[in-house]
Structure 1
């Protein structure tokens, strides 16, 4: 899914059977670095996450929305994961 300001895509190295990442196209390093001027972008981002979550729930019955901060944040760009299922084992 894509809008003028937001992109959602399947994770390139998924940790779950369904693993979709949603990002703003403009760089924002983290949820906690958002500024008041970013509010319209955040609303658009959450709207895309909501649409993806609705789709995953309709197909699978449930989902999680995850975001990580600072040391837990591998990618230093604001993003939300919409996931379903048990974590995949990595070998």
Structure 2
């Protein structure tokens, strides 16, 4: 059973809350490198967030040492986006950078439907 996630006030929700306690989330996918779950505060009707389990600050800080993690992250994003498109008729994929990035941990959103 998924529990309610309390209001978080830090700067890395994924390292501090999601990755250590995926049982508190509505998990879509989890393996040794990647975690994907329904957003705890969705902006769209269908809103899934996918994160590497290893801390990577953002897309612009990815290095060659992160190659295998990023490859797996993109495989999961592709599969979730394809499933979202199949079931809802459309999907968008996005990541935020700089001031747009609330949580300073690389994360990719797959979403569809109207804004909530």
TM-score when normalising by structure 2:
0.74
Runs of 4+ in 1 over 6 A off after TM superposition: none
Counterparts of 1:52 and 1:3, CA distance in 2: 14
Matched, 1:16 2:44: yes
Tell me the number of residue pairs that the alignment of Structure 1 and Structure 2 aligns: 88
Aligned mate of 2:109, from 62, 72, 81: 81
- Find the counterpart in structure 1 of residue 31 from structure 2: 3
**What aligned pairs does 1:34-73 form with structure 2 within 5 A after superposition?**
34-73=62-101
Deviation at 1:52, TM superposition (A): 0.4
| 1:22-51 C-alpha deviation (Å, 9 max, x unpaired) | 000011110000111111110100000011
Task: Give the structure, 1 or 2, with the largest relative contact order (CA under 8 Å, sep 6 or more).
Answer: 1
Alignment RMSD (CA, Å): 0.6
- Structure 2 residue runs of 5 or longer lacking an equivalent are 1-28
Find the residue that maps to 1:13 and give its secondary structure. Answer: coil
Deviation at 1:2, TM superposition (A): 1.0
Counterparts of 1:81 and 1:47, CA distance in 2: 14
Counterparts of 1:3 and 1:51, CA distance in 2: 14
TM-score when normalising by structure 1:
0.94
